[in-house]
Structure 1
Amino acid sequence: MRAVIQRVLEANCVVDGKITGEIGKGLLVLLGVEEKDTEEDLEWLAGKIANIRIFSDENGLMNQSLADCNGKILLISQFTLFAATKKGNRPGFTRAAKPPLAIPMYESMIHKLSTLTGTKVEVGVFGADMKISLINDGPVTIIIDTQQKE
């Protein structure tokens, strides 16, 4: 599993002209699921996302988590995070999980993050053509890959 986490002042997802998810201060999380991902990977990554300390404290240091600043999460599925670009100019996506695996993992991540943060997780629409708008704060962008836990 791979996540691109962006600290944002605000973010939203629009599908067919309608907002499907919207947050103020918080994290925009782009989530890619790989065929070999497990429930253990999901648990580990959810814990990292919910507790990552990338919000500024009173001294301007990145020392606060979502809970510390009452932040929210906008979670967007994004299979393109597993693009293979080594050969040619057209990316391949064979490492990305197919919908029968990816959808349940995405839905499990929504539930797990909601449980860990105690707040509703805002979402996009799996497989849809989504338009994501955000104001990146910092900018702060962190990439976490469950295959690189150590």
Structure 2
Amino acid sequence: MRILAQRVTEASVSVDGRQVAAIGPGIMALVGFGQEDGPDFNTRPAFQGMAHKLLGLRIFPGQGELANKFHTSLEEFGGQLLLVPQFTLYADCRKGRRPSFIDAGNPDWAKPMFDYFVKMVDESCAVSVSSGIFGADMAVRLCNWGPVTIWLDSANLFAS
């Protein structure tokens, strides 16, 4: 599982010209599953570990002397979260100029995995959680804050 988390002042997702999700200050996270995850990934500790890591990232400013520091998490800051499914996080560009997506998770199990991840995150935190639509041709708009962009890869963070 891979997540590209970006601190934003605002972000939104539209499908067919209709806005389906929007947030104010918070995190917009692209979320992808790889073949190595497999259809049982949600039963492994790394699945919840990735949610915990994302929600716990201390990338927001604190108060007073800590106003310009990475001090608080999304929940402590009171921000919002937008989760966007993104199979291209598993692009392999080692050969030629056309990316290969053979390492991306099969949509048959990656879609329910993404939906379950959104539900689990939403039920485990006190922030507003929105999501894009798996498999849709989405227009994603965001305004980076910083910019702050963090790469999370379960294969590196939770290697057994």
Which TM-score band (shorter chain)? over 0.9
Tell me the alpha carbon deviations over residues 33-60 of structure 1, each in whole angstroms, 9 at most, x when there is no partner: 0122112222110011111110011221
- Find out whether 1:51 has 2:56 as its counterpart: yes
Cross-structure match for 1:16: 16
Q: Is the 8 A contact 1:42 1:105 kept in 2?
A: no
In structure 2, stretches of 5+ residues that fail to align are none
TM-score, normalization by structure 1? 0.96
How much identity, in percent, do the aligned residues show?
Answer: 37
Cross-structure match for 1:83: 91
Q: Is the 8 A contact 1:32 1:77 kept in 2?
A: yes
Q: Is the 8 A contact 2:34 2:105 kept in 1?
A: yes
SS at match of 1:131: strand
Tell me the alpha carbon deviations over residues 117-136 of structure 1, each in whole angstroms, 9 at most, x when there is no partner: 13442111111110111110
Per mean C-alpha deviation after superposition, the further-off stretch among 112-121 and 58-67 is: 112-121
Which letter maps to 1:97? G
- Map 1:38-77 onto structure 2 (within 5 A): 38-39=41-42, 40=44, 41-58=46-63, 59=66, 60-77=68-85
TM-score, normalization by structure 2? 0.90
Deviation for aligned residue 1:83:
0.3
**RMSD between aligned alpha carbons?**
1.1
Flag as ranges the 4+ runs of structure 1 deviating above 2 A: none
Deviation for aligned residue 1:112:
1.4
Deviation for aligned residue 1:78:
0.3
Tell me the alpha carbon deviations over residues 65-86 of structure 1, each in whole angstroms, 9 at most, x when there is no partner: 1111111110000000000100
Output the CA distance in 2 between the equivalents of 1:47 and 1:86.
31
Q: Is the 8 A contact 1:6 1:140 kept in 2?
A: yes
Output the CA distance in 1 between the equivalents of 2:18 and 2:56.
30
Output the CA distance in 2 between the equivalents of 1:120 and 1:70.
9
Output the CA distance in 2 between the equivalents of 1:111 and 1:73.
12
> How many residue pairs get matched?
150
Output the CA distance in 2 between the equivalents of 1:26 and 1:117.
13
- Map 1:1-150 onto structure 2 (within 5 A): 1-37=1-37, 38-39=41-42, 40=44, 41-58=46-63, 59=66, 60-149=68-157
